[in-house]
Amino acid sequence: MPAAPIGGPAPEGRFDRRLLAPMMVGSILNPINTAIIAVALTPIGLALGAPARETVWLVSSLYLATAIGQPLVGRLVDIFGVRSLYLLGAVLVTAAGAIGLLAPENRDSIWWLVAARVILGLGTCAGYPAAMHMIRAEADRTGLASPAGILTLLSVTTQTIAVIAPALGGVLVGAWGWRATFAVNVPLGLATLLLGALFLPRRTGLEPAVQDRPRIDGIGILLFAVAMLALLVFLQNLAPTLIWLLVVALVAAAAFAWWERRIPDPFIDVRVLWGNGPLLLSYVRSLLTATISYTFVYGFTQWLEDGRGLSPTVAGLVLLPVFAAGIAVALAFGRRPEVAGKLLVGSAAQLVAGILVLFMTGSSPIWFLVLAMLVLGIPQGLNNLAIQNSLYYQAEPERIASSAGLLRTFFYLGAIVSSVVYGNVYGARATTEGLHVLGWVVVGIAAVFLVLTVFDRSLARIGRDAPDAET
């Protein structure tokens, strides 16, 4: 019987609502820090005398730390439970905020800030895997066949943060300077620490007993980290002189697969994963979704300013319908656990959005741009929600947290792939011709996504016999 959080025993037959606050706060730490730094890059560069090639590491470092750390921390959550890893993550987030706030203002301080972002990335790794672990544990405790309402709330929360984070960053920088984008993590980290200490149970029932805990696969973790680090750095700095990094990534990945197959307690059970085709397809869909989403959010935004001649403020307003429509469709359809229909509609909407881009010019009316963003908002809401729900049903219960962490790894890999795509397509300036190339890229990726969805018969079984979710 899992230990009850402070405030009395967990209610019988329904989700313990006291868990919602720590779950939601923990889950937003990563997306808010992913977006909030964008508005601070230029002020940081000016204050420290750091060129763009150095300030970009403030973005890349968090991507790298998160992509590597999410499955690692998720696996530790599966073994040791949510509470200890969640609280440790909160401490790291608070410490990272303090480092950024107190870093000296000189030429070398940029690397202090990069270190803070690495710590921040690792600290935010616990939130989402812990939330998925708790949802699974509560479903087992209550017998709730479909926690789709809770999963929808988790999805909507992170999407809402994606809407407000850039604006929040702009307000903070305008009022208190670039340090505020780091300092905001101090109260957020302390709030996370308090909520976790008050409401998260010491045991959930999903983690093994102390005497049955598997050994930590240190070699597997190291090989995975080397493979991911080499691959992600290569993708971030695509150049013939760095091809050796791709070789290192492939060798480390091969060694990782060989090692994981021969030990009894692997970091990532590649035998089960390889035999779980539906879960692998969910990871691929996450990568494709992120590639399309980030290509639009960043690549399209650049064109709005360079090619269409809009101000940054107006360009930001044009993007708002993406997130507004995403939240609306997630709220409208999230209570149903089925995913096949969501993914089919979402993949078709991605395809339409890519086609609309092909007809854009430097004189396209604002209403046409907003229409395209509204269409893009449909998959923004449906695909992310459906992929998250798919993972819940496809992953092994005892590995739900590590599976959720690996999902985030694929998502951030897609984000990095998108930066490579629009960076190489545009070059020095975001032209309309370059935008059309991006449109064809989106159309191609969306077509692959649609094919993977149409021919994946396993999707029809997810949530088919489940009742409406708890609201």
Over residues 79-100, the pLDDT tens digits come to 888 899 999 999 999 999 999 9
DSSP state of 322: H
Task: Give the span between the Cα atoms of 97 and 91, in whole angstroms.
Answer: 10
Task: Give the span between the Cα atoms of 436 and 43, in whole angstroms.
Answer: 32
Q: With cut-offs at 50, 70 and 90, classify the pLDDT of residue 428.
A: low
Task: Give the span between the Cα atoms of 460 and 394, in whole angstroms.
Answer: 12
| Cα 129 from chain centre | 11
pLDDT at residue 468, rounded to an integer = 45
Task: Give the span between the Cα atoms of 403 and 397, in whole angstroms.
Answer: 9
Task: Give the span between the Cα atoms of 155 and 149, in whole angstroms.
Answer: 10
Residue 291 pLDDT exceeds 50: yes
pLDDT at residue 463, rounded to an integer = 66
CB atoms inside a 10 Å sphere around CB 215 = 9
pLDDT at residue 469, rounded to an integer = 44
- The residue with greater pLDDT, 403 or 335, is 403
Query: What residue has token string 């998925």?
Result: 132
Task: Give the span between the Cα atoms of 326 and 307, in whole angstroms.
Answer: 26
Task: Give the span between the Cα atoms of 328 and 313, in whole angstroms.
Answer: 23
| CATH topology classification for 14-212 | Growth Hormone; Chain: A; (1.20.1250)
**H/E segment holding residue 28:** helix 20-36
Task: Give the span between the Cα atoms of 211 and 457, in whole angstroms.
Answer: 40
Q: Do the Cβ atoms of 251 and 236 come closer than 8 Å?
A: no
pLDDT at residue 192, rounded to an integer = 95
Burial profile 87-100: b = 16 or more Cβ within 10 angstroms, e = fewer: bbbbebbbbbbbbb
Residue 76 pLDDT exceeds 70: yes
**CA geometry: angle at 109 spanning 103 and 114, to 5°?**
90
Task: Give the span between the Cα atoms of 15 and 6, in whole angstroms.
Answer: 15
Residue 109: Cβ-neighbour burial (10 angstroms; 0-12, 13-18, 19+) = middle
Six-digit token pair at 466? 């489940």
Question: Between the CA of residue 359 and those of 92, 208, 355, 362, what are the distances in Å?
Answer: 47, 56, 7, 10
Question: Between the CA of residue 325 and those of 35, 156, 316, 378, 401, what are the distances in Å?
Answer: 19, 11, 15, 6, 29
- The residue with greater pLDDT, 347 or 14, is 347
Percent of the chain with pLDDT over 90: 24
Over residues 235-247, the pLDDT tens digits come to 777 778 889 999 9
Task: Give the span between the Cα atoms of 297 and 438, in whole angstroms.
Answer: 12
pLDDT at residue 9, rounded to an integer = 63
Q: Do the Cβ atoms of 463 and 341 come closer than 8 Å?
A: no
Would the CATH topology of 14-212 be identical to that of 272-466?
A: yes
Mean pLDDT for the chain overall? 83
Residue range 336-342: mean pLDDT, rounded: 81
What is the per-residue DSSP string for 429-447? S--HHHHHHHHHHHHHHHH
pLDDT at residue 464, rounded to an integer = 62
Over residues 24-73, the pLDDT tens digits come to 898 888 888 887 887 777 788 888 888 766 777 888 788 888 888 888 88
The model carries a pTM of 0.79
Residue range 362-374: mean pLDDT, rounded: 90
Query: Which amino acid, 435?
Result: L
**CA geometry: angle at 444 spanning 438 and 449, to 5°?**
125
Residue 471 pLDDT exceeds 50: no
CB atoms inside a 10 Å sphere around CB 363 = 8
Residue range 281-292: mean pLDDT, rounded: 91
306-315, 356-365, 378-387, range with the lowest pLDDT: 306-315
Q: Do the Cβ atoms of 432 and 363 come closer than 8 Å?
A: no
- Domain 272-466: what homologous superfamily? MFS general substrate transporter like domains (1.20.1250.20)
Question: Could you state, in order of their start, the residue ranges of all structural domains in the chain?
Answer: 14-212, 218-262, 272-466
Task: Give the span between the Cα atoms of 412 and 192, in whole angstroms.
Answer: 23
Task: Give the span between the Cα atoms of 237 and 11, in whole angstroms.
Answer: 52
